[in-house]
Structure 1
Amino acid sequence: MYNAVFKRAGLPWVYGARDLPEPAQAERFLAERDFLSINITTPYKPAALAAADVQAASARLAHGANVLANKGGTLIAYNTDGQGCVASLEREGVTFKGASVVVCGTGPTSLSILHAVAQAGPAEVVLVGRSVERSHEVLRTYADELGGMVGRIVDMPALREHHLSFAEVYKQVNFRYGSYDTSRQAIAGADIIIDATPLGMNEGDGAPFDTALLRADQTVFDVVYGHGETALAAAAREAGCTFFDGAGMLVGQAVVTVGILRDITETAALDIPEDELFAIMADAAGFDR
């Protein structure tokens, strides 16, 4: 995806993979800082955040980074998961404004998505996980950190038209929490359900919650893709839900990353319209769009 964009922009940059199976190797690679930008995936997002010199709000609120950008030797941490998720769903016609949204999971991907969903203007967002206590702790920390940001700095404006600023999220969006067992009513009543857990990446994985709760008029999104049909995907389709997997999110977060590279390098050649970027990257990845 990235190499297709670099080619389109006429840049000599190359995106590749680096096999670093041992933590010490990864630490040395980061310390050398011989890269412009890298992507990080589960379970190393918290470690990537800790390695950064500067933490963007997106990474700080998520407690994990999936992008490290090198600006003159300074490592800046970002988390583009949430923006990529919301942008890909909005591209498919999903409307968050005024909706009830359930986000499954309590890790960095879930928190990134939780915040991006909240910025899209829902009536409420419910964070659910295996434990009520864990969901409460994670949501309370997020709310405290968001409130601290709102209190310390000039309000950070919305990233997209019709979305909410940080202060508007803090003041307007109703956040709730629970477990898969205690939030059955919230899951059954949700307009949009987002599974941000890794369930489905391994054979035999079940869905995070009782899929008998699904209704035909719900939109269901699973961050997992490329591992065959997950249990949640199968159940959502059987229930008649509108279902999307994580392929669009992968492209969406990559589009955001290109914007980061454009900004930190001031490379005008990367000033490509978002729709065109999405098309270039989706085609390169072999995804339908």
Structure 2
Amino acid sequence: MSSERIIVGLVGEGILESLTPDMHMAEAVKLGLDYEYRVIDLLAHEYRGLSIEHVLEEARIEGFRALNVTHPFKQSVMSLLDNLSEDAQRIGAVNLIIFDEGLTRGENTDWTGFGSSLSEGLIDAQWDHVVQFGAGGAGAATAYALLKHGVQNLVIADLNIEKAAAVANHYRALFPRQNVISTPTTEANKMMNEADGIVQATPVGMNTHPGVPFDLDLVNGSAWVADVIYRPFETQLLCEARERGHRVLDGRRMAIGQAVDSLKLITGLEPNSDRMGRDFSDLVTGRRPLSKLQGFK
């Protein structure tokens, strides 16, 4: 086992049930690493009131190698970092911060995780016209992955139309040969009957936000349906879509893919994605209990 201890953390709100820390730690042990993962949930009593700026500084002082970042800090943390990878800058969101010789660098592995899930989980699918619901940090990453994957016509819908317009305008400039538009969710519902695929990138469907974000009766019968949520990985949306005969893509592949890519960036080693996928399944089904992880010392 490596003699150097690698300290990594996850910062966000309502993240005590996240599977990312245990996925990292299980694979790190198999890679022969001395790997310590800490969870800093800013809704937890001991951290309530702390700013993301304070978290970054404390992590630097305590010698963290990296911080995974999740809701609601993926976009707001960017202005606090010294450097951004090209993809993180283009996406406008960060889910991983690397501490390197006193400097911080923002990375985004959400898009690579979703991109690999498209390639592996929707082989031979049609990509010309896709409607996406959600324009937050996760939605910015999935939209980028869709455009990099070759989607020619992308509709981005959000309850906050200003946010959807900002994402669409940004990507229209980056991908001038592809058609990217924004629309209110009510209008997006009318466009689903001609779409090749639908992407669900909102919190709707999570254990804490049950329900479905749109009416499946309005979806083209041959369209595929993808959901970024993995708790539960069989969301109500995907269950109903499968029953109607749609090809579906759940959030497991994206969750595993982003963890694999993050661990590689943190350690410089090549994780075993199949092994991490099995660990993930054990965690989701409860065959392996979640660890009780501490935050700052």
- Report the TM range for the smaller structure's normalisation: 0.7 to 0.9
- Which segment is superposed worse, 202-211 or 216-225? 202-211
**Gap change, CA 1:64 and 1:93, over 3 Å in 2:** closer
CA distance in structure 2 between the partners assigned to 1:175 and 1:62 by the alignment: 14
Structure-2 residue corresponding to 1:81? 110
1:211-241 CA deviation, whole Å, 9 max, x = no partner? 2112442211111122375342233123211
**Gap change, CA 1:132 and 1:45, over 3 Å in 2:** closer
Which runs of structure 2 are paired with 1:168-247 in the superposition (5 Å)? 170-202=175-207, 205-227=210-232, 229-247=234-252
Pairwise CA distance, 1:127: 1.0
1:57 and 2:86 are equivalent in the alignment:
yes
Structure-2 residue corresponding to 1:280? 275
Pairwise CA distance, 1:8: 2.6
Q: Which amino acid aligns with 1:15?
A: Y
Pairwise CA distance, 1:19: 4.2
1:131-176 CA deviation, whole Å, 9 max, x = no partner? 54542233113434x3xxxxxxxxxxxxxxxxxxxxxxx2432212
How many residue pairs end up in the alignment? Answer: 254
CA distance in structure 2 between the partners assigned to 1:187 and 1:132 by the alignment: 18
CA distance in structure 2 between the partners assigned to 1:204 and 1:223 by the alignment: 14
**DSSP-derived class of the 2:35 partner:** coil
Pairwise CA distance, 1:109: 0.9
Higher relative helix content = 1
**Gap change, CA 1:89 and 1:138, over 3 Å in 2:** closer
Q: Which amino acid aligns with 2:244?
A: A
Q: Which amino acid aligns with 2:156?
A: L
Structure-2 residue corresponding to 1:154? none
**Gap change, CA 1:255 and 1:97, over 3 Å in 2:** farther
Structure-1 residue corresponding to 2:290? none
1:45 and 2:77 are equivalent in the alignment:
no
Pairwise CA distance, 1:284: 1.6
Q: Which amino acid aligns with 2:270?
A: D
CA contact (8 A) 1:36 1:71 kept: yes
Structure 1 residue runs of 4+, over 6 Å off?
none
**DSSP-derived class of the 2:57 partner:** helix
Structure-2 residue corresponding to 1:31? 57
**DSSP-derived class of the 1:38 partner:** strand
CA contact (8 A) 2:127 2:151 kept: yes
1:239-288 CA deviation, whole Å, 9 max, x = no partner? 211122211110011122123224xxxx4xx135xxxx211211122269
Pairwise CA distance, 1:105: 0.8
**DSSP-derived class of the 1:35 partner:** coil
CA contact (8 A) 1:131 1:178 kept: no
CA contact (8 A) 1:129 1:135 kept: yes
Structure-1 residue corresponding to 2:36? 14
Q: Percent identity?
A: 28
**DSSP-derived class of the 2:248 partner:** strand
TM (normalized to structure 1)?
0.78
**DSSP-derived class of the 2:181 partner:** strand
CA contact (8 A) 1:214 1:239 kept: no
CA contact (8 A) 2:153 2:179 kept: yes
Higher relative strand content = 2
Q: Which amino acid aligns with 2:66?
A: S
CA contact (8 A) 1:251 1:281 kept: yes
TM (normalized to structure 2)?
0.76
**Gap change, CA 1:8 and 1:46, over 3 Å in 2:** same
CA contact (8 A) 1:48 1:66 kept: no
CA contact (8 A) 2:88 2:94 kept: yes
How big is the alpha-carbon RMSD for the aligned residues of Structure 1 and Structure 2?
2.5
**DSSP-derived class of the 1:183 partner:** helix
CA distance in structure 2 between the partners assigned to 1:236 and 1:2 by the alignment: 31
CA contact (8 A) 1:193 1:221 kept: yes
CA contact (8 A) 1:96 1:121 kept: no
Q: Which amino acid aligns with 1:59?
A: A
Unaligned runs of at least 5 residues, structure 2 = 1-22, 285-297
